Amino acid sequence: MARCFVTRELPGSDLERLREAHEVEVWPEPRPPTGDELRTGAADAEGLLTLLTERVDADLIATLPRLRAISNFAVGTDNVDLAAASERGIPVGNTPEVLTDATADLALALMLAVARRLCPAAAVVREGRWGPWAPDFMLGRDLHRATVAIVGGGRIGSAVARRLEGFDCRILVAGRADRDGLAELVAEADFVSVHTPLTEQTREMIGEPELRAMKRTAYLVNTARGPIVATAALERALREGWIAGAALDVTDPEPLPADHPLLEAPNLLVVPHIGSATHRTREAMARIAVDNLLAALAGERMPHCANPEAYERPS
């Protein structure tokens, strides 16, 4: 029986399967543990189940001598130092595929919400400003037959493209390696939707050149990772009217402080990283995260391993 440290309670009942097989300690607070709290809680752990809010860097990994497996409750692993884990022969699991549809659905919801001005329209009603119907009141823009540039043509980007077929959209796709030609591609788009993983190559992939290249009537949507979009450049783009608006599920920094200047920018919709936030999706993520940890602690290969090179090194 191994000791496992889990950094938050998970939806569903799958943590019970982990408790049946191993000694499990769950971080009791609703907030994420700090770096020191994570180091203390996982000090003698062999298994670590983390969320994207925890930074599992080389320094932390070096202070956990018994650690044999890391399972990340996310499709991304940018919060984990994969190279440091691989050097120790520690497999790192993630939860791909199961959150594809939920995130793709949210991307479309954000496109429609920002372009059709749903939040300002709802505020008009709640604030008692709903007057007589007028031909030019709350005009937005169409998603139907729009040109949509998808940045990142992987599972989620492809799922968004399939949904947009129902809107008769023209789809343009840029891969994570297409950074040099990105400004030319987004210049054609009415919507730019970001779906690439966060890597050093994609950090601030959407910056001032790309935002300036976009149409003044175009919208930016990001459901991937906040640092893929340069925050200061986006704020300026909204304030100065380089683009028509933006809808974000992710930000940099994250969480975005309530007094952050970006939130004062016009035509901006921000939601708190809810791309995978459906009951079915989060429960499926919990199941996969537990499966990954159980397999690794049993000496088996993780079903979803983000660093398969870890198995090529001695544990």
Q: Are residues 137 and 261 in the same domain?
A: yes
Question: Is there a contact between 44 and 24 (Cβ–Cβ < 8 Å)?
Answer: no
Whether residues 125 and 243 fall in one domain? yes
Q: Which of 204, 208, 254, 309 is catalytic?
A: 254
Does residue 15 share a domain with residue 132?
A: no
- Based on the domain organization, do 244 and 121 belong to the same domain? yes
82 and 225 inside one domain: no
What digits encode the pLDDT tens for the residues 126-145?
999 999 999 999 999 999 99
Query: Out of 273, 282, 287, 304, which one is annotated catalytic?
Result: 273
Q: Which two tokens mark 34?
A: 């700090």
CATH assignment of the domain containing 201: 3.40.50.720
The active-site residue out of 225, 282, 287, 304 is 225
Does 254 qualify as catalytic in the annotation?
yes
Degrees, nearest 5: CA angle 279-281-284: 105
- Three-state SS for 165? helix
Residue 258, classed as helix, strand or coil, is coil
pTM: 0.91
Confidence of residue 313 (pLDDT cuts 50, 70, 90): low
308 to each of 26, 68, 131, how far by Cα in Å? Answer: 27, 14, 61
59-118 pLDDT, tens digit per residue, is 999 999 999 999 999 999 999 999 999 999 999 999 999 999 999 999 999 999 999 999
Range of 173's domain? 100-270
Task: Please check whether residues 256 and 284 belong to one and the same domain.
Answer: no
What is the reported pLDDT for 175? 87
| Helix, coil or strand: residue 53 | coil
Sequence-distant (≥ 6) Cβ neighbours of residue 246 within 8 angstroms: 114, 219, 220, 221, 222, 234, 237, 238, 267, 268, 269
Question: How many domains does the chain contain in total?
Answer: 2
Q: Coil, helix or strand for 6?
A: strand
pLDDT beyond 70 at 314: no
